[in-house]
Amino acid sequence: MEVVVLGSGSPLPDPDRAGPSTLVRTGAGDLLFDCGRGVLMRAAAARSGAGAFVALFLTHLHSDHLTDLNDIVTMRWATSFAPSPLRLFGPTGTGRVVQAVGEMLEADIGYRLSHHADLGWRPVTEVTEIGGPTVLELNGIRVTAAFTDHAPVRPTLGFRIDDGGRSVVIAGDTVPCSGLDGLCADADVLVHTAVRRDLIEGIGLPRLTDVLDYHSSVEDAAETAERNRVGTLLLTHLVPAPEPGTDDEWAGLATARFGGRVIVANDLTTVTIDG
């Protein structure tokens, strides 16, 4: 089992960090969690791509977590040689977003159908909206979803992937909450968004300090990991993006509260879980 951070960034454009996205490689194939800006560019670097995704999971409907959904829909369809529906799991409201993406792409779909004689089908996205705690079985892989707390964004989801005794949790954007704790128990890897409260408060811009009440700080993420006996804490969606040479500073805030391994993600940071 392997975790690849395709995008470690946030809504703020960064030349070195794509938008939020995590690839989990399992015995059943590649599972993608969120699809922020630049996801397929990073997937290509990881030797994956739209056609390789067994399923796509959205933690919530904030724009930075689904900016490139249209690119995945288009590229999965336009590069396939037979109909290959995209399986998409997300919170209530996901179907409406997918419908809107399809409407936005309608002109492009028409152009491609007219131009390519061997492309005789339209893109299809099979949407499953998750309205509560849910367990999915995908080709022998167990995916568990639970509500998290990113209010006023509702609903938001975290996911746990279990594959042959190995486990990964994708927290998404959240503050500490019971739903996330339930997913994290004894997990091998917790992929957790994190903000630096001290740096954000030092900047002092109201639009930025507003993020503090619905995101976990580095310390919050560390305490969640410690409380639930997680093996490795992988910090991503970093706000503000770490200055070069400060990864140890970020990690130190976590290790002060968590006894396991801490990794501060960059794009394409990869964690292998040995079975």
Residues with a catalytic annotation lie at 64
The order of strands in the sheet holding 134-138 is 134-138, 141-147, 157-163, 166-170, 189-195, 232-239, 261-264
The two tokens of residue 134 are 């849910």
Mutual angle of helices 94-104 and 69-78, in 10-degree steps: 60
Residue 108 to residue 152: CA distance in whole angstroms: 35
Closest among 155, 166, 136 to 56, alpha carbons compared: 136
Query: Is residue 172 a contact partner of residue 150, using CB atoms and an 8 Å limit?
Result: yes
59 to 76, 90, 99, 153, 188: CA distances (angstroms): 21, 6, 18, 11, 20
In sequence order, the 6+-apart residues with CB closer than 8 A to the CB of 210 are: none
In sequence order, the 6+-apart residues with CB closer than 8 A to the CB of 177 are: 147, 148, 149
Length in residues, the chain = 275
Residue 25 to residue 22: CA distance in whole angstroms: 10
In sequence order, the 6+-apart residues with CB closer than 8 A to the CB of 255 are: 222, 262
